[in-house]
Structure 1
Amino acid sequence: MKHVTILVPHGAVMGSIELPRQVFAEVNAYLETLGKPPLFRIQMAGLTAQVPVNGGRYLVNTDVLLKDIQHTDLIIIPALEAEMDKHLADNSELAIWMVKQYRNGAELASLCVGAFLLASTGLLAGRRVTTHWRATNVFKKMFPEIELVEDRIITDERGIYSSGGGLSFVNLLLYLVEKFGGRDLIIFCSKFFQIDIDRRTQSPFMIFNGQKDHEDEPVRRAQEFIEQNVHQRITVDQLAGMLALGKRNLERRFKKATSNTVGEYTQRVKIEAAKISLVSSRHNVNEVMYSVGYTSTKAFRTTFKRITGLSPAQYRAKYNWDQLAEQIREKS
């Protein structure tokens, strides 16, 4: 039987504590119907017997104190609310405890922005991690030495796991169920919780908001120009001339401030505008392509799929309200 410890940190998000408990408990209940022993021993653990979460709206009664756990097999690290600096300081003892357990053979799995607490352990050196796409800029600033793969739903790095944003952490939970219990159990869970077990990227859900939380005013002006002229073909030379900067100087400063090259930033702004048009207008794909400054169908489709994981047509079919409503009418 695998001992699963679900951490209850200060500042935790309730859903990322209760849902993991429910997933593992449902696996045990299903096995019981088959006349088999439970697979998981599940405990919610914290530094105190009661922990306020969700800004104090809920009070979680822990099953056990961390100091009383000698060994565990899997540690689930839930998502935290905002004010990461404060929450990491409040939970520093948890980080120390996790390092000790990892060195004793435990595996670690962070859910959504629980990746910040995982990163604070120092165990991610040489490993990749993912988190909610909205938190990527903050994560990069707090942990610049860690490789963040922001489009991934799941990472598996030698006993340390992480998941993307929102409820996509359920995909990681099912991944762990399959690892410990086999394919039959993950199929049961996917049906019970109605989760697509084959989803591997959070790219289709990402919304690109230009990274402007920096103090480089010329770079900010370049960003605003790109965003306001999405229909144009904009070059680095053009921006450098407009800002009276050298080309190499602009490229260096732009990358430092935004974590993107000028070309990458321009592509992401254009594709974000295309995504909005595809879901909110009746323009065909070619019309959308021209409206964001592309003239090559191949280049547009290739770039769109690289950034979102879907073709323009697939994206529209998945998220355009008119098409979704039509599908609903056809099925009713």
Structure 2
Amino acid sequence: MKYVTIVVPDCELNLNSIAGAYEILTRANDYWQKIGNRSRLDVRIAGFVSESKINGGYFTVHPTDIGQIKKTDLLIIPSIFGDYAKTVKKNDGLIDWIGDQYKRGAEIASMCSGAFLLAATGLLEGKTCSTHWNAIEKFREMYPNVKIAEDKIITDENGIYTNGGGYSFLNLMLYLVEKIFDRAAAVFCSKVFQIDIERTTQSQFTIFHIQKGHGDDVINRAQMYIEENIDAKISFEKLASQLAVSRRNFDRRFVKATGNTPVEYLQRVKVEAAKKELEKGRKSVFEIMNDVGYADDKAFREVFKKVTGLSPLDYKNKYSKVELAS
């Protein structure tokens, strides 16, 4: 028997990640028994709080007392909302409990922004994790020694599992079902809950946010120049000279301020502009490629796919508005 604990932190929570994890795991266990096996899972929802109101109080979770659980084989941290730093501070006891369980041999899975609580245990130091693309900047600020796998849906390292944002926790649950039971059980759950079992990246869902809150005026000016000239061929050597800094110093400060090299930043800005035009569906891929300053079709396609995980045409077909014939 494998004991699973879905923890309930004291904060604003995502009900779907709690209920969804519970439903998928218990459904997989039911399937396992129906094909002639003994029950493999005991799933509990537990926390130090006796009640957690979710979504403005419309829903309420009543977890069991986590203090009564001496050992668990797998614990799952749901995604959280609100001020991450305050949430971490408010859940010291739970964070210590999670770290202690890992030392006792438990595996840990965090969903989306639940990675903030997991990282607070110190267990992710020097490791790689995934979280929601929209929380990456804050995560890096709070946990600079943890590497973010920006494009990955799931990471798996030393008994610690993490996943990207939103409903990608469903893919994490299928991943865990396959590890706990087998591939057939995961495929069964994929079909029952209609989850794409082969989804591996969140790149296509990412919206690139321009990082401007870093306080480096020189880099802010460089960013503005890049954003205003995405259709031009930019020489960063000349740009650094215009800003009265050496190229080496410019590159170092740019990476420190934005998390990207100047070239990466330029590519991300160009791709984000291209994505918006592709979503409108009015222009051809070739027209958009020229609009964002690419003359080489192959180079544009390679950069676009590197950033989004899709070709420009596939992205357009998937996300562009479709005019219905009247």
Q: Same fold (TM over 0.5)?
A: yes
Which runs of 5 or more residues in structure 2 are unaligned? Answer: none
Q: Deviations over 1:199-224 (max 9, x none)?
A: 11100111111111211122112112
In 1, Cα distance between equivalents of 2:252 and 2:35: 61
Residue 235 of structure 2 corresponds to which residue in structure 1?
235
Q: SS state of the match for residue 322, structure 2?
A: helix
Q: Is the 8 A contact 2:278 2:285 kept in 1?
A: yes
Residue 171 of structure 2 corresponds to which residue in structure 1?
171
Deviation at 1:39, TM superposition (A): 2.5
Q: SS state of the match for residue 9, structure 2?
A: coil
Farther-moved stretch of structure 1 (278-287 vs 299-308): 278-287
Residue 248 of structure 2 corresponds to which residue in structure 1?
248
Residue 37 of structure 1 corresponds to which residue in structure 2?
38
Amino acid at match of 2:292: V
In 2, Cα distance between equivalents of 1:165 and 1:48: 25
Q: Following superposition of structure 1 onto structure 2, how do residues 299-314 of structure 1 map, counting pairs within 5 Å? A: 299-314=299-314
Q: Is the 8 A contact 2:47 2:66 kept in 1?
A: yes
Residue 224 of structure 2 corresponds to which residue in structure 1?
224
Where relative contact order (Cα < 8 A, 6+ residues apart) is larger, the structure is 2
Deviation at 1:296, TM superposition (A): 0.9
Deviation at 1:34, TM superposition (A): 3.2
Q: Following superposition of structure 1 onto structure 2, how do residues 168-207 of structure 1 map, counting pairs within 5 Å? A: 168-207=168-207
In 1, Cα distance between equivalents of 2:238 and 2:265: 15
Q: Is the 8 A contact 2:190 2:197 kept in 1?
A: yes
Residue 270 of structure 1 corresponds to which residue in structure 2?
270
In 1, Cα distance between equivalents of 2:266 and 2:49: 49
Residue 296 of structure 1 corresponds to which residue in structure 2?
296
Q: Is the 8 A contact 2:32 2:181 kept in 1?
A: no
TM-score (norm 1): 0.94
In 2, Cα distance between equivalents of 1:126 and 1:223: 30
Residue 19 of structure 1 corresponds to which residue in structure 2?
20
Q: Is the 8 A contact 2:271 2:304 kept in 1?
A: yes
Q: Deviations over 1:85-104 (max 9, x none)?
A: 11001111111101111111
Q: Is the 8 A contact 2:281 2:321 kept in 1?
A: no
Q: Deviations over 1:227-267 (max 9, x none)?
A: 12211111212322332322222211111100111111000
Q: Is the 8 A contact 2:129 2:147 kept in 1?
A: yes
In 2, Cα distance between equivalents of 1:195 and 1:257: 38
Residue 160 of structure 2 corresponds to which residue in structure 1?
160
Amino acid at match of 2:263: G
Deviation at 1:57, TM superposition (A): 4.7
TM-score (norm 2): 0.95
CA RMSD of aligned residues (A): 1.7
Amino acid at match of 2:99: V
Aligned residues: 325
Amino acid at match of 1:9: P
Q: Is the 8 A contact 1:10 1:53 kept in 2?
A: no
Residue 137 of structure 1 corresponds to which residue in structure 2?
137
Deviation at 1:56, TM superposition (A): 4.7
Amino acid at match of 1:25: T
In 1, Cα distance between equivalents of 2:150 and 2:62: 33
Percentage of pairs with the same residue: 47
Q: SS state of the match for residue 44, structure 1?
A: strand
Q: Following superposition of structure 1 onto structure 2, how do residues 44-63 of structure 1 map, counting pairs within 5 Å? A: 44-54=45-55, 56-62=57-63
Q: Is the 8 A contact 1:73 1:106 kept in 2?
A: yes
In 2, Cα distance between equivalents of 1:67 and 1:129: 28
Farther-moved stretch of structure 1 (149-158 vs 221-230): 221-230
In 2, Cα distance between equivalents of 1:207 and 1:238: 29
Q: Is the 8 A contact 1:54 1:81 kept in 2?
A: no
In 1, Cα distance between equivalents of 2:185 and 2:158: 22
Residue 86 of structure 2 corresponds to which residue in structure 1?
86
